[in-house]
Amino acid sequence: MKLETNKTLKRKPDNTKLGFGKYFTDYMISATYTKEKGWINKKISKYKSISLEPSSLVFHYAQETFEGLKAYKNEKNEVFLFRPEMNARRFQLSNQRMCMPTIEINEFVEDIIQLIKLEKDWIPTLPQTSLYIRPFMFASEHVIGVKPAIEYKYFVICSPVGIYHQGFSCSKLLIETNYVRAIRGGTGAVKCGANYAIGLLADKKAKEQGYDGVLWLDGIHQKYIEECGTMNCFVVINDEIITPPAGISVLEGITRDSTITILKDKGYKVSEKQISIDEIITAHYNNSLKEIFGTGTAAVISPVGTINYQNKDYVINNNKVGEIASLVYNTLTGIQQGKLVDKYNYTIKI
């Protein structure tokens, strides 16, 4: 890929105050797709603003998809990516669902490796920090009309990040009984911006009531749990770890998949099955509800300490981080940071 050297490199932020998604590195990948030529003008160049016509289709009909992955650096200055081919594959599936062009799996991964090698110095090394990588694609054809666009833009930008939201501490989630985020046949299993836009109002209202976000129920019965905000959801009842099936209205999270693999490998009983909010409340009353936690690249594991259902708060595990959540968190972050043996071959060293 062509590199246009950036002569004005930025001063790097204080790594103890990164927050999430506030700083962007010196470079980005960009490419254009046209129906006649396919992918053209792919390059690495300075991270800067772009110009688009107001009639660009993405602004009107939301043809947009994205991905999220992280690069880590250990004390030996070795750099790792976590399962990037999974992001590449999912990006293809998202793009197919949204009638958008796809990018070859190898190309997606190789391009990111080239970018990360260039931006190596931007990868923070303090605990709980990493370089967040955001690939995204959108319809840039300028015309007003509902149809798959014939022109697209693809970008990859990077942001050094610290702790997401409140980090590895317990959150309070409101079980959302009014709004829904996804429904069978829709785009719940697709990583597209539109899914996030429709979730904002519920999230805002939950925050106004003092919660950190919502726990979504299924869109048909409003009965089965689906996702913890923008994370996949796990519930521990007695010695069974349950997570709703992914791929229909639940996103196939890479952290979810890794969590299932790690827990099964450690001998836990993991079930991918529907679980209703009534079962969870019943389990709370008979003391068999042990833990609820969310999984996703940004926060890795996000334990839930309180859920509110129909105006009643239910405290889980005395509002403390549970044993399973801690185990998965330590295993995953240990592998990601190159501190634990990567027996699952999840990381690639670049």
Rounded to the nearest whole angstrom, what is the least distance from the CB of residue 40 to ligand PLP in the complex? 29
Number of CB atoms found within 10 A of residue 34's CB = 16
| Separation CA 131–CA 129 (nearest Å) | 7
Q: Are 246 and 189 spatial neighbours (Cβ–Cβ below 8 Å)?
A: yes
Segment lying near ligand PLP (by CB under 6 A), choices 33-41, 110-118, 230-238, 272-280: 230-238
CB of 174 to ligand PLP, least distance (A): 17
C-alpha distances out from residue 318 to 22, 289, 301, 302, 305, Å: 33, 11, 18, 16, 7
215 touches ligand PLP (CB under 6 A): no
Angle at 334 between CA 349 and CA 229, to 5 degrees: 100
Given the rule CB under 6 A, which of 27-35, 102-110, 124-132, 250-258 is the region that contacts ligand PLP? 250-258
Measure the CA–CA gap between 261 and 197, rounded to whole angstroms.
31
Q: Is 28 in the site for ligand PLP (CB under 6 A)?
A: no
Q: How many residues does the chain have?
A: 350
91 close to 151: Cβ distance less than 8 angstroms: no
Between 242 and 283, CB nearer to ligand PLP: 242
For the CB of residue 247, give the shortest distance to ligand PLP in the complex, in Å. 12
Site residue total, ligand PLP (CB under 6 A):
14
Q: How far is the CB of 194 from ligand PLP (least distance, A)?
A: 11
Smaller CB separation from ligand PLP, 31 or 299 = 299
**Two tokens at 34?**
């046209």
Taking the C-alpha atoms of residue 281 and residue 295, their distance in angstroms, rounded to an integer, is 21
- Please give the torsion angle defined by the CA atoms of residues 244, 309, 181 and 108, in that order, rounded to the nearest 10 degrees: -50
256 touching ligand PLP, by CB under 6 A: yes
DSSP element (H, E) containing 227? strand 225-228
For residue 294, the minimal CB distance to ligand PLP (Å) is 8
Contact between 162 and ligand PLP by CB under 6 A: the answer reads no
Considering beta carbons, is residue 151 or 234 the nearer one to ligand PLP?
234
Near ligand PLP by CB under 6 A, which window of 146-154, 204-212, 225-233, 301-309?
A: 225-233
DSSP string, 152-170: EEEEEEEEEE---TT-SS-
- Is residue 218 a contact point for ligand PLP (CB under 6 A)? no
Give the footprint of ligand PLP on residues 33-92 (CB under 6 A): 68
Based on the shown chain and the rule CB under 6 A, indicate whether residue 231 belongs to the binding site for ligand PLP: yes
Do the beta carbons of residue 152 and residue 39 sit within 8 Å? no
Instruction: Confirm or reject binding of residue 230 to ligand PLP (CB under 6 A).
Output: yes
* Residue 336 in contact with ligand PLP, rule: CB under 6 A: no
Out of 130, 297, 331, 333, point to the residue binding ligand PLP (CB under 6 A).
Answer: 297
What φ, ψ does residue 183 adopt, rounded to 5°? Answer: -150, 150
Interacting residue with ligand PLP among 187, 232, 317, 337 (CB under 6 A): 232
**Which of 41-49, 118-126, 248-256, 327-335 is the region at the interface with ligand PLP (rule: CB under 6 A)?**
248-256
What is the C-alpha separation between 202 and 267, in angstroms, rounded?
A: 37
β pairing state of 300-309 and 289-296: antiparallel
Whose structure tokens read 């985020």? 181
Nearer to ligand PLP, 308 or 336 (CB): 336
Q: Is 255 in the site for ligand PLP (CB under 6 A)?
A: yes
Residue 253 in contact with ligand PLP, rule: CB under 6 A? yes
Please name the helix (run of DSSP H) or strand (run of DSSP E) that holds residue 233, with its range, or none: strand 231-237
User: Does residue 176 interact with ligand PLP by CB under 6 A?
Assistant: no
Distance CA 203, CA 154 (A): 29
Residues lying near ligand PLP in the complex (CB under 6 A): 68, 191, 227, 230-232, 251, 253-256, 295-297
